[in-house]
Copies of this chain bind each other. A is one copy, B any other.
């Protein structure tokens, strides 16, 4: 008997209630039954993003949503700025290059947040920049960027902001309209804790103007087709959607709104803090030094000297059944990442820290058993999100 616990920064564990909805008998996508759910999910996702902009659900992983943003918003040769500080911002740069854009990559040492002033400076220097792309939460490093500052800078220029909020939205407050974020991308499988396979994307009026004159070839991800299909009565998708995923998202969103968005953000912040303090207590170092830049979705931890980083994640999974994530790209073996987002509560954190302690003991790292767990309990008790 080895119970399994998923504690990665996505995909995240799915609640029984959402799984049961996921398993509902097929509704054909051209029926009033499904149309009602489809419209409701679209509306709820807009509420989650705090936006009145158009929003579309795509049947793809989050990367498909990123490609949709880039291929729709720009034209060949357009200059774009990518705030590059991790694996996923680098993906923005890669996709942009593939589709013929001129990419200015504003590179930061991984683990550091972007300084919004740098964005402003680049935009002043390059008034022909058409778009600025960044991650709300950069999953590979556990950084949260100041999307509010970014959006409010970019709005003053002849450029749009594109935000990959896939691992951030639902865990941290994002206000697409108040912060002037033109295109925001989310995914089903992160803080929503719904099954993998759906992305969603919001589009502002400023972005539509670019989309309408874009000359990059696109078909499956063409947002003009998505807009046309959504304008039908009842609203539709241009292609067959991931029906069971959308049905599951409907339930997941209901659960999130039942908790209350602000409560959910607070819960995630407390779980993040609890995790951070607990790993520090057992002598480990957090990867992100700037406390304000630490994400509520995922905590990146430095592998302690003398310990094989790859063994931490593999032993936690095989011996204790607890799946966390290792480092990606150049951080492989140097950090590990504990996800604490979605359908995740304090006792999940206790499990994560407890499994980490036992694994580190297995690997010969010296400290007193239970210190991390005790710290997690103490920090949580003082900041509890429970009533």
Contact = CB atoms under 8 A, between A and B. Distances in A.
Interface of A: 4, 6, 8, 10-14, 19-20, 22-26, 28-31, 59-64, 67, 94-95, 98-100, 189, 195-198, 216-221, 238-245, 317, 323
Listed from nearest, the 7 A-B pairs whose CB atoms lie closest are A23-B23, A197-B242, A61-B239, A63-B239, A61-B240, A195-B244, A19-B23
Residue among A30, A63, A220 with the highest chain B CB neighbour number at 10 A: A220
A234 to B, nearest CB: 13
B196 A98 contact: no
Contact of A219 (B20, B31, B95): B95
Contacts of A11: 26, 28-29, 240, 243
B241 A61 contact: yes
A19 B62 CA distance: 24
A9 to B, nearest CB: 11
Contacts of A59: 59-61, 64, 196-197
A109 to B, nearest CB: 26
A106 to B, nearest CB: 21
A29 B195 CA distance: 12
A62 B241 CA distance: 10
Contacts of A6: 26, 28
Nearest to A247: B195
Nearest to A95: B219
Nearest to A248: B244
18 contacts: A4-B25, A10-B240, A11-B29, A13-B25, A13-B26, A14-B26, A19-B24, A22-B22, A22-B23, A23-B23, A29-B196, A59-B61, A67-B219, A100-B217, A189-B240, A197-B197, A197-B242, A242-B242
Residue among A64, A94, A196 with the highest chain B CB neighbour number at 10 A: A196
Contacts of A22: 22-23, 244
